[in-house]
Amino acid sequence: MAHPAVLRQAQALGLMGLLPFFAFATLAWLPEDAVVGHVGAAQLAQRALVAYAAVILSFLGAVHWGVALATPTATPQLARSFLMWGVVPPLLGWLALLMMFLGLAPWLVLSFLIADLLLVRMMDGALFRHRPTRTEGYLDLRTRLTAGATLALAIALAATI
């Protein structure tokens, strides 16, 4: 079990990590004539939001590598599951960036990211259920942070349609 002070720090940092999600989602509602340099401010906010979500997905994948490497009592099969799953979230984030760079519709990219975050949370629940040591509070924190991130992406998504 994590020390209560560590859990409080993780909660505080996680909530602060939602601030860019909501800031960019709010900026995605700027009028079309608002520009930064030669780029529309709303479009720039959407791009920043996609990039930030991709970085967060990479972070979430790394958590699984940390669990696999820090749990010597895990069976080889469980460790392999954590390691293999750990590469999926960064690949999903990279794919979202690629979709954005290829010029796919913002609503499609944002919808893809919402699905990615929900999938990663679902897999966290499935894998952490089999972890040999307890991780008190982690999945609850992940649920709240996923809800916040997907809400912010949905706010930005609504600005695109």
- DSSP for 32-57, please give it: TT-EETTEEHHHHHHHHHHHHHHHHH
Read off the pTM.
Answer: 0.91
| Domain assignment present for 95 | yes
Mean pLDDT of 39-55: 96
Indicate if the pLDDT at residue 1 is higher than 60: no
Q: Would 139 be classed as within a structural domain?
A: yes
Q: Assess if residue 67 is contained within a domain.
A: yes
Measuring CA to CA, how many Å separate 52 from each of 18, 25, 58, 90, 111? 10, 11, 10, 12, 15
Range of the domain at 102: 14-160
Is residue 78, in this structure, part of any structural domain at all?
Answer: yes
The answer, yes or no, to whether residue 156 has pLDDT greater than 80, is: yes
Is the residue at 4 inside a domain?
no
The domain total for the chain is 1
Residue at token pair 């760079």 = 101
Amino acid at 31: P
Contact 34, 45 (CB under 8 A): no
29 found inside a domain: yes
What's the CA angle centered on 54, arms 143 and 62, to 5 degrees?
65
Is 104's pLDDT higher than 60? yes
pLDDT band at 134 (very low <50, low <70, confident <90, very high): low
For range 68-93, the mean pLDDT: 90
Domain annotation covers residue 5: no
* Residue 118 belongs to a domain: yes
Q: Rounded to an integer, what distance in angstroms lies between the CA atom of residue 113 and that of residue 100?
A: 11
> Are residues 137 and 7 in contact, defined by beta-carbon separation less than 8 angstroms?
yes
